Structure formats: structure tokens, C-alpha cells
Amino acid sequence: MASQKKNAFYAQSGGVTAVINASACGVIETARSHRDRIGKVYAGHNGILGALHEELIDTGKETAATIAALRHTPSGAFGSCRYKLKGLEQNRAEYERLIEVFRAHDIGYFFYNGGGDSADTCLKVSQLSAKLGYPITAIHIPKTVDNDLPFTDTCPGFGSVAKYVAISTREASLDVASMCQSSTKVFILEVMGRHAGWIAAAGGLAASAAGDPPHIILFPEVPFDRAAFLARVDATVKKEGYCVIVASEGTQTADGQFLADAGSVDAFGHKQLGGVAPTLAQMVKDELGYKYHWALADYLQRAARHIASATDVAQAYAVGRAAVEFALAGKNATMVTIERGQGAKYRWSIGEAPLAKVANVERKMPKSFISRDGFGITQACRDYLQPLIAGEDYPPYKNGIPQYARLKKVMAAKKLPPFTPVK
Amino acid sequence: MASQKKNAFYAQSGGVTAVINASACGVIETARSHRDRIGKVYAGHNGILGALHEELIDTGKETAATIAALRHTPSGAFGSCRYKLKGLEQNRAEYERLIEVFRAHDIGYFFYNGGGDSADTCLKVSQLSAKLGYPITAIHIPKTVDNDLPFTDTCPGFGSVAKYVAISTREASLDVASMCQSSTKVFILEVMGRHAGWIAAAGGLAASAAGDPPHIILFPEVPFDRAAFLARVDATVKKEGYCVIVASEGTQTADGQFLADAGSVDAFGHKQLGGVAPTLAQMVKDELGYKYHWALADYLQRAARHIASATDVAQAYAVGRAAVEFALAGKNATMVTIERGQGAKYRWSIGEAPLAKVANVERKMPKSFISRDGFGITQACRDYLQPLIAGEDYPPYKNGIPQYARLKKVMAAKKLPPFTPVK
């Protein structure tokens, strides 16, 4: 390296969460405590796009109080993006542009905060050093409500969604229970989780005794069987008086057909889903005639910082801090992980995994986490999930509303001509 | 009256709320402090149906701790119902049955906790004394998330939904703001409020500066103008980068057509709505091509005790307590109200209104509360709404989930033959 002290680039990628800013807070506060090694921390405006377009937010212009407030602020304070770098061979111009920007701003550390797709991007950036001769240290900071990254016990962002879904399921269930005698008998909550049922599983934490709602959970991992589903709904209504269902947006039939397919596709080529709940509701109405209600929480679930899991917040901060410490320790092409300790009492610590093994690998729910009938979670699943939603971490309020950080977002002066993306 | 000391009947009616049990708590705790005048407090199992079917929950079998826990438990702990008594002339048998049950259980106080329809029922019960010669004191305890009861400054249940909607709007808006550069540009939150836009208006509290989301609020009171709506969405996306919309389920065109009409009808003959958000989303997609997300909170919004307004909780308890005090003071056919004091600082106290004037009157939003363009709220509206969401009243947690009351629900022994409803 030309000098010991380098600037850092931090960016948020993909769908945001209630706690990704807690990771940003961990990165920035830790970098600030190592001013001898790390100069400025630039945050990409709208993720990696900020690097390509040389839109670098100078986090040094934000006060310590503002940075601290990121810990309790949901969503991506610097802007996120859905943009996946192609391979070096397919789009060399993008990588050359990144190097140009990094060199112009003396950036030696690359911290990328995202899920599986961004792990892949982070890996590619880590290879710039070898392939294009630009020295950079790239560390991936895990984030995804989908909880589908491998090697880490959990993904920051998931615990808070899990808590939101568990609480919402419990609350809505009480509502249905009080209405079911003369009105609504079936309630369906549709939750996120495209290919993995982790979030739907969290709805199961609403139950604490046999017969407690939710009575049915629909996982992407379990092929949807219309007849079995309707039979279970009917039996539950007849026995309990009502039936509460938590359905993953990824619920699909044995031949891989999503139950409700909105038909559009996001920037990563993933199908955009939505509408499982109304589809199920119509099915219940048509076949069983029960009055229904349904809810689709969508962004509310992943933005619900007001009821974030304290465990999740602590872990999100810790992986941000660890990313900086890893970089300073000379690690590269590494993802920070969360490791669960042995024993009945929940303990966690920070670990690491090589990005080459992480990128584009999706972790599904273990079969042992889904009950034999396919409609619920097992004790093993409860044991796994329970600690992740533990503790409340309330944001400060003013006038009845949480006070979330507002950044100044001062951009570093541009030094380069505009970037024209190559198609 | 045959004796000074009489038993009381309390019932919950219609759609439940996050704080209706706080009113139950107020009734029961206050009755317990007047044992010289009030004997047992029976709660109707599933509202007024419990009276008709002689399913009376003996609240005396619940511990003081359980009753106290009702204060932080959402939904109707004793069960609610959608069941409207017909007029005395149309269904005399029902009223005679009520008297039979009241007499069998020595009930002299009738506390009915609900909205406009139940105010009507409560009024009819209050007239039993004069019309059928059974002495009973009937007090109505207001409850409705719709905030549409007349004479009261607000309705318990509304403040908590308002807080939930304001917070959810703020949180989801931060989410969209961070995604909009490369992904979602339009977000729509559909909220309750069949004929009055109070709940949608509360979304406006998420904004604290010009340009803040939500950028558009759709009220039932303002005829939906497709062209004006689309133009506003487009202009907002072009100016702010994204657009957040809070839409009332009751959004309708000038000719009274609901934007999305699920086609079914509830027990009171009200059309059951749902699906404004996906309808608007499709419109935005088709006409403007913007990527969208939408959420439909449904029961989550009115059951969200985890983020209840402390003001709302206090008022819900107070109207329950006041109902008992009114009854003991000899009032009848009365609704408890909340009165707002004069001056800039919010102050409230308990008042009263004659049920004869309350029943079946719906209060709409004043015109002065909706901005001239029809897409937002005015300062007068903010001044009205702001105090209602003030303060947090968190429930206790265990294992990451709120601990809500679980009742034993011991039924009083039946003394009468079963009731066969007359069609």
C-alpha cells in the first residue's frame, strides 16, 4: 500500500432491514476509534451505485450523536440498491470504474452490507487486487431478513422481523379469537421469505401452548397441498372456533408454481411475489364458506424498528464493528458471522467465513425444524428461534413517533468524469 | 329495585381494539371497589350473544392480577360479536329473553362497550325498564378504531391505531426512500376506516417537515380522481424520488363506488372491504410503470397493543371506570365521552352524552382537516390528532413476546332453558 492510512467505503445492498443501520453505526464508530489506520469513511449513496457514480457520502460530516442514532434507525440511511455486478469477464468496465473511484478517493477498505447477492459482489471486489492490481480489503457484513446466508447462525435483520411476525401473529390471533363466534373465522398473515421459510416459522413463536395459534404455517419448503390445507383449516375452525394461518410469500406447489405470482421480476432476476394471502382467503371462502380476513405486512415487517429484537440490534452492531476489526487485522474476502455457543443458555460470538464459500449459497430451513405434518415448527426450531427475538430495544420517541436519525449526507467532491454504464 | 345491591353485565361489541380490554379493566376494578352496591360482574361470552344464550363469564373468578393485565391486553378478552338487536317491535322475543336472563342473574347494570351499532343496542336495553317493566341501568362505553362516534372528542381504540399507522408509515417510508433509486418507487399502505378517514389521516403524523412522506393520503370523504391521483404520484416520484400513499379502505369515487369491493357483507349489512392497495398499485404500474410495494395491515393495526398510545390506554380505562360511576350515580341511557380542554396544552376529562342522540350517528372528518388538494391533512387536523398518539404504554414481555392476560372464563351456572333465536 502507498500509505498505511486508507479511507474506507461502506455500502448497503439489497432489501433493507430494521437493523442494517446498526451495522453502519458499528462500522463508523469503530472506524472513528482507529483514526491512525482509517481516514474517512465514505458511504455509498444508494449502495454500490454510489461507488460507480462517485456519489460518496462523507460520514465524517455527521455528528457522533447522529451516527449513534443510526443504531435505532430502520432501513438504509445511505440508500441501498438492487444492483448486482456482473462477472469481471462480462463487464470489465464496471470494475475498472470502481478502481478509478477507489483510487481517486484513496479507498483501501471495502465494507459491503448485504445478503447473498452482495456477498458475491464483495467477493468480486476482493479479487480486484489480484486481477486488476488494485490493493483493497473487502469484508462482507451479513444482512438479510431472509436468514438464508450460510455459515452464520443467523443474519442480522432476521431476528427483528421474526419478533415482529411473532408479536403480530399473537395480537391478530387474539383479535380473531374474540370475533370468531359471529364473524371472522379464518385469518391469514402473509410474510416475506421467497425461498426459505424462516420468517413464516417465526410466526410459530406466537404459540406457547398446544392449540395456540397460529394453527397452520405454510413454508416454501413444503409443497402446498390444497386438499390437506383446506381439511386442516376446516378441522381447526370446528375444534378451536377459528383458524390462524401464517403463510410465506414463497408458498408453492410441488411443481414449483408460486401460489400467487405477481409476474414481475426484480433486478436480480428474482420473481416479485405478493398475494398468497388473498389467494388462500378466496380458496377458504369458496370451498369452506368461512368469513376471512388477511394481512400483508410487506415492508412494515422489515422496517419495524419500533419493536426490534434487542439481540438482533446487538448482533447487527457487532458484525459492523467486527468488519472493521477484521480489515485492520488484514483479513480479506471474509464474511463476518455470528456463532452460537453450546449449552442451553443462549450465547453468541463473532466468527468468520470465506466469501468464496458464501456467495450465492442459500440456506434453507432444516427438515427437522418443520413438523411432520408440514404445518408447524418443531421444538428444535423453537429452540433455535427463541433467543433471536429476545429483548426489546425501543427507539426514543417524540410526539408519539420514534425519532429516527436524519443525515446531512454531505457528498465528497467529485474528482472524476461521470460514469456511463455499459449495457 | 328489589334490593340495593345488583349484579352487573358487561359486554364487548363489534370490531375489537388494542385497548377495549383496558375499558373492561376499568369497569371490573371499579365495580370491585363498590361491593356494597355492585355484586358480581358478569361478562357476556361473545358480547350480547352471551346474554341471550346465558353464557355469563363470572369475572369474580379471575384474580386481581389477571384483571389488571387486561389493561395491557389487546382484543376482546371475553369475546365480541357482530350482532345488532332489532327494534322491540320486530323482535320482542329477544328483549324478553334478555330480561329473563337479567332477572335470573339479578342484573341491574348493563355496560355495553362498542361503537355506533352498540350504542343503539344499549339505548334499546335502557328502554326495557319503561317498555317491559324491568329496571336496568344501561351505560354505553365508547370503543371504535373508526373514531366516528359523535359527542366524544375521540373514541378509545382510535389513538392506538393512529399511532400504529403513523409509526408504520414512517418506518415503511424510510424503507422505500432507501430502495427507490434502483427498485421500489411507490408504496401504498391500506388502512381501516370504512366511511371516515380518521385512520388514514393519522398516517399524516409520520411527516414532520415539508416533503416528508406520506405524500398522498386518500380519504373516503374525498372522491377519488384517478387522473389527479396518478399525476400526483408521478410528480412526487419525479421530485422526491419515491411516493408513499396511505389509502383508506373506504376510498371511493364520486358516485360512491368503493375502489375495491370484496363483495361480501357483514352482520350489520356493511360491505366488507379490502383491496384498495393492490388496485392502486396496479393502476400505478399500468399507467406510470413504477415498481411498487403495498401493505394491508388489517387486524394488525387494531390489535397492535405492543405500540399502543399511552393516552388511548388511559382514556380507555377511564371510560370504563366512569361507566360504573355513572351507573352508581343513577345515570341511564348515557354514553361516556372524552372531552378536550381549551388551550394549547392537551387536557382531557370525562363527559357524557345521551344515547338517544348518539345511536347510529356517524361523525365524519371535518372538511377543515383535509388539505385543499384533498391529498393531505391540515395543521388543524395535526393539532387534533397529535395528542391522541402521545406516550408509549409497553406491555410486559417474556421470551421476546408480550405477555397478555389469559382468562379462566368460568361460566356462571345456567338457570334457564336454552334460547332459540327467532329468525
Flag whether the pTM goes above 0.80. Answer: yes
A vs B: CB pairs below 8 A: 215
Active-site residue numbers of B? 146
pLDDT at B326 over 70: yes
First to last CA, chain A: 33
B164 contacts on A by Cβ (under 8 Å)? none
pLDDT at B421 over 80: no
Of A175, A208, A297, which has the smallest distance from its Cβ to B295's Cβ?
A: A297
Q: Which residue of A has its CA nearest to B159?
A: A400
CA angle B404, A383, A226 (to 5 degrees): 80
Phi, psi of B134 (to 5 degrees): -110, 120
Q: Cβ of A183 and B49 within 8 Å?
A: no
State residue B2's pLDDT score: 42
- The Cα–Cα gap between B30 and B42 comes to 14
Of B181, B304, B402, which has the smallest distance from its Cβ to A46's Cβ?
A: B181
The residue-averaged pLDDT of B257-266 equals 62
State residue B420's pLDDT score: 82
pLDDT digits (tens, 9 = 90+) for A156-208: 999 999 999 999 999 999 999 999 998 999 999 999 998 899 999 999 999 99
State residue A422's pLDDT score: 63
pLDDT digits (tens, 9 = 90+) for A293-347: 999 999 999 999 999 999 999 999 999 999 999 999 999 999 999 999 999 899 9
Cell (9 digits) for B8: 352487573
- The Cα–Cα gap between B233 and B249 comes to 19
pLDDT digits (tens, 9 = 90+) for B59-103: 999 999 999 999 999 999 999 999 888 888 888 899 999 999 999
The residue-averaged pLDDT of B289-308 equals 97
B295 contacts on A by Cβ (under 8 Å)? 296-300
Q: Please report which confidence band the pLDDT of residue A209 belongs to, taking 50, 70 and 90 as the band edges.
A: confident
Q: Cβ of A386 and B402 within 8 Å?
A: no
pLDDT digits (tens, 9 = 90+) for B373-388: 999 999 999 999 999 9
Q: Cβ of A401 and B166 within 8 Å?
A: yes
ipTM score of the complex? Answer: 0.95
- The Cα–Cα gap between A221 and A247 comes to 12
Counting other chains too, the contacts that A370-373 makes at CB distance below 8 Å and 24 or more residues apart are A370/A197, A370/A201, A370/A219, A370/A221, A370/A222, A373/A232
Q: Cβ of A73 and B183 within 8 Å?
A: no
Task: Name the percent of chain B lying above pLDDT 70.
Answer: 96
Classify the C-alpha dihedral A196-A161-B187-A274 as positive or negative. Answer: positive
User: Could you tell me if B293 lies within 8 Å of chain A, comparing CB atoms?
Assistant: yes
For testing contact with chain A, the best of B401, B403, B407 (most A CBs within 10 A):
B401
User: Could you tell me if B118 lies within 8 Å of chain A, comparing CB atoms?
Assistant: no
Of B181, B266, B304, which has the smallest distance from its Cβ to A171's Cβ?
A: B304
- The Cα–Cα gap between A15 and A1 comes to 34
pLDDT digits (tens, 9 = 90+) for B107-154: 999 999 999 989 999 999 998 878 888 999 999 999 999 999 999 999
State residue B347's pLDDT score: 98
A404 contacts on B by Cβ (under 8 Å)? 170, 174
Asked, as a colleague might, if the bond just before B214 is cis with ω within 30 of 0, I would say yes
A75 contacts on B by Cβ (under 8 Å)? 171, 174-175, 177-178
Q: Which residue has the higher pLDDT, A272 or A400?
A: A400
Confirm if A377 and A217 have CB atoms less than 8 A apart.
yes
B294 contacts on A by Cβ (under 8 Å)? 274, 296, 298
Among candidate residues A58, A117, A120, A146, the one labeled active-site is A146
State residue A87's pLDDT score: 84
B291 contacts on A by Cβ (under 8 Å)? 264
A391 contacts on B by Cβ (under 8 Å)? 400
Of B12, B15, B296, which has the smallest distance from its Cβ to A296's Cβ?
A: B296
Q: Which residue of B has its CA nearest to A75?
A: B175
Distances in Å between the Cα of B190 and the Cα atoms of A95, A184, B273 are: 42, 19, 11
User: Could you tell me if A240 lies within 8 Å of chain B, comparing CB atoms?
Assistant: no
Phi, psi of B72 (to 5 degrees): -115, 20
Strand ranges across the sheet with A137-142: A56-58, A38-44, A6-12, A107-114, A137-142, A334-340, A348-354
- The Cα–Cα gap between B200 and A308 comes to 25
User: Could you tell me if A346 lies within 8 Å of chain B, comparing CB atoms?
Assistant: no
State residue A359's pLDDT score: 76
User: C-alpha dihedral over A17, A22, A27, A28, to 10 degrees?
Assistant: 120
B231 CA to centre of own chain? 34
Q: Cβ of A175 and B302 within 8 Å?
A: yes
Cβ burial of A333 (10 Å; 0-12, 13-18, 19+) is buried
The shortest C-alpha distance from A12 to chain B (Å) reads 9
B298 CA to centre of own chain? 13
State residue B362's pLDDT score: 85
The residue-averaged pLDDT of A128-155 equals 94
Asked, as a colleague might, if the bond just before A418 is cis with ω within 30 of 0, I would say no
Confirm if A161 and A199 have CB atoms less than 8 A apart.
yes
A130 CA to centre of own chain? 30
State residue B306's pLDDT score: 98
DSSP string covering A164-188:
HHHHHHHHHHHHHHHHTTTS--EEE
State residue A266's pLDDT score: 43
pLDDT at B264 over 80: no
B79 contacts on A by Cβ (under 8 Å)? 177-178, 181
Q: Cβ of B299 and A295 within 8 Å?
A: yes
Q: Which residue has the higher pLDDT, B47 or A130?
A: B47
Distances in Å between the Cα of B304 and the Cα atoms of A173, A175, A305, B291, B354 are: 11, 10, 14, 29, 31
State residue B266's pLDDT score: 44
Mean pLDDT of chain B: 93
The residue-averaged pLDDT of B169-189 equals 96
State residue B423's pLDDT score: 58
User: Could you tell me if A61 lies within 8 Å of chain B, comparing CB atoms?
Assistant: no
Q: Cβ of A401 and B394 within 8 Å?
A: no
DSSP string covering A291-357:
-EEEEE-THHHHH-GGG-BHHHHHHHHHHHHHHHHHHHTT--SEEEEEEEPSSSS--EEEEEEEHHH
Residue B343: count other Cβ atoms within 10 Å of its Cβ: 7
Q: Which of residues 310-329 of A touch B (CB under 8 A)?
A: none
State residue B262's pLDDT score: 43
CA angle B62, B63, B68 (to 5 degrees): 100
Q: Which of residues 389-408 of A touch B (CB under 8 A)?
A: 389-392, 394, 397, 399-402, 404
pLDDT digits (tens, 9 = 90+) for A84-107: 888 888 888 999 999 999 999 999
User: Could you tell me if A267 lies within 8 Å of chain B, comparing CB atoms?
Assistant: yes
The residue-averaged pLDDT of B386-398 equals 98
- The Cα–Cα gap between B163 and B157 comes to 10
State residue B354's pLDDT score: 97
A183 contacts on B by Cβ (under 8 Å)? 81-82, 266-267
User: Could you tell me if A283 lies within 8 Å of chain B, comparing CB atoms?
Assistant: no
- The Cα–Cα gap between B251 and B257 comes to 9
Q: Which residue of A has its CA nearest to B209?
A: A406
Confirm if A172 and A148 have CB atoms less than 8 A apart.
no
Q: Are strands A216-218 and A243-248 parallel, antiparallel or unpaired?
A: parallel
State residue A423's pLDDT score: 58
pLDDT at A263 over 80: no
Of A46, A172, A266, which has the smallest distance from its Cβ to B303's Cβ?
A: A172
The shortest C-alpha distance from A336 to chain B (Å) reads 23
